[in-house]
Structure 1
Amino acid sequence: MLRIGLTGGIGSGKTTISSLLKEKGIPIVDADIIAREVLKEYPIIIQTIKEKFGSEFIDKNGELIRRKFGNFIFKNPLKRLEYEKIIIPYIKKEIFDQMNQYEKLGEMACVVDAPTLIEQGLNECMDFNILVWVDRETQIERVKERDKLKYEEILDRINSQMSLNEKRKMVDFIIDNTFTIEETKKQVEKLVRVIKSGV
């Protein structure tokens, strides 16, 4: 089975590309969904967050107050790294478990959709990697429109990840998502042909 990494920055449109690939029958392992699921599956994560960062980030139902905690860790890079050390091992375990399940089912390819694919070294476990790229101005505008965040909060999130231009140097395939959805779809169709040919 081909293991394919898909990455991009916040607001680059990675979710759109992931959905288009799914429509073409390619299974997706979504790291963002897994990141939410592991909080429920492994209560020790919430407990550790409470102990290390304070109970103000946990609501009365024992769930993470995501935006409040996000604003906190994206302003404090060392705290973000501390949080990643807690949660990333669980996310990686689930990613590999899901990939192995798809392989057992006889799928010819599987895409791992992960915003920090490269930062976490997951790109090295893939057969090839794809970057969804947009220019910085487009990225900022899309996040502003979608998440209704303040400009400073947007920059904190963008700057917490490796820049898209740096990521360009570390992937095998780039989808330029700056333009219309029609142009993006053409690029995805080309990519699907490459995947289905077995590279």
Structure 2
Amino acid sequence: MAYVLGLTGGIASGKSTVADILRSQGAFIIDADQVARQVVAPETLGLQRVISVFGRSYLQADGSLDRKKLGAYVFANKKALEQLNMLLQSLIQAEILQQLQAAQERDERLIVLEIPLLFEYHYEKYCDAVLVVNVPYEVQCERLMQRDDISLAAAQNKIAQQMSAEKRVALADKVIDNTSSLENMKTQVLKYLKNII
């Protein structure tokens, strides 16, 4: 029987790093960000939906979605972000659940749902437990500015679009603190894994 672990955390908190650690231990990862890219690939229903609402100016020369341009627009415009989520969430959810079912049928021992908006879209109901990666706000801003090469105001705005860290932590079954070193985080993850599988 597969164990389904939800993995979430704020933007730039270190979810992908935790997912890599879990993958190295044999976990099968279903990555919502990857699925979100899949559903807006050229000639998909998702891309048609996005272009019909936001316009062809968000297409690149090769017909693919200009994710950077669209991202900059929606993160500066809460209504547009909500609209984009509404257009794509049903497609993303259908694909995630399809991958989950296939992994369960293959009898994967540990399946990880790596989903930034896990609680917002209630994926916790498909999980045996939820792991939240957490960092202090200042560290999160710093890492996001560095990662995306953006200003402090832009980083704060992106963070503000998500559920608060306090609320996420309160809903978690286990919290991984990613304030210090990678080694420290790896120790926490491996210790937690021993308890669940």
Using the size of structure 1 for normalisation, the TM-score is 0.94
Provide the rounded CA distance (Å) in 1 between the counterparts of 2:59 and 2:76.
Answer: 18
> Is the contact between residue 117 and residue 123 of structure 1 (CA under 8 Å) also seen in structure 2?
yes
Instruction: Tell me the residue number matched to 2:107.
Output: 106
Structure 1 residue 174: deviation in Å?
A: 0.3
Provide the rounded CA distance (Å) in 2 between the counterparts of 1:124 and 1:40.
Answer: 28
> Is the contact between residue 39 and residue 47 of structure 2 (CA under 8 Å) also seen in structure 1?
no
Provide the rounded CA distance (Å) in 1 between the counterparts of 2:104 and 2:42.
Answer: 23
Provide the rounded CA distance (Å) in 1 between the counterparts of 2:57 and 2:19.
Answer: 34
Structure 1 residue 195: deviation in Å?
A: 2.3
Structure 1 residue 19: deviation in Å?
A: 0.2
Instruction: Tell me the residue number matched to 1:69.
Output: 70
Structure 1 residue 125: deviation in Å?
A: 2.2
Structure 1 counterpart of 2:152, one-letter code: Y
Instruction: Tell me the residue number matched to 2:33.
Output: 32
Q: Please list, as runs of the form range in 1=range in 2, the aligned pairs for 1:1-20 lying within 5 A after superposition.
A: 1-20=2-21
CA 1:41–1:31 in 2, change beyond 3 Å: closer, same or farther?
farther
Instruction: Tell me the residue number matched to 1:160.
Output: 161
Provide the rounded CA distance (Å) in 1 between the counterparts of 2:43 and 2:56.
Answer: 17
Structure 1 residue 42: deviation in Å?
A: 6.1
Displaced runs of 4 or more, over 4 A:
none
The percent identity for this pair of structures is 32
Q: Please list, as runs of the form range in 1=range in 2, the aligned pairs for 1:128-143 lying within 5 A after superposition.
A: 128-143=129-144
Structure 1 residue 6: deviation in Å?
A: 0.3
CA 1:37–1:82 in 2, change beyond 3 Å: closer, same or farther?
same
Instruction: Tell me the residue number matched to 1:96.
Output: 97
Structure 1 counterpart of 2:185, one-letter code: T
Instruction: Tell me the residue number matched to 2:47.
Output: 46
Using the size of structure 2 for normalisation, the TM-score is 0.95
Provide the rounded CA distance (Å) in 2 between the counterparts of 1:83 and 1:166.
Answer: 24
Deviations 1:85-138 (A, max 9, x none): 111111111111111111111112201001111111111221110100000000
> Is the contact between residue 109 and residue 195 of structure 1 (CA under 8 Å) also seen in structure 2?
no
Structure 2 counterpart of 1:125, one-letter code: Y
Instruction: Tell me the residue number matched to 1:144.
Output: 145
> Is the contact between residue 46 and residue 91 of structure 2 (CA under 8 Å) also seen in structure 1?
no
Structure 1 residue 41: deviation in Å?
A: 7.1
Provide the rounded CA distance (Å) in 1 between the counterparts of 2:18 and 2:34.
Answer: 16
Instruction: Tell me the residue number matched to 1:79.
Output: 80
Structure 2 counterpart of 1:123, one-letter code: E
Structure 1 gaps of 5+ residues are: none
Provide the rounded CA distance (Å) in 2 between the counterparts of 1:128 and 1:78.
Answer: 32
> Is the contact between residue 2 and residue 110 of structure 1 (CA under 8 Å) also seen in structure 2?
yes
Provide the rounded CA distance (Å) in 2 between the counterparts of 1:57 and 1:169.
Answer: 38
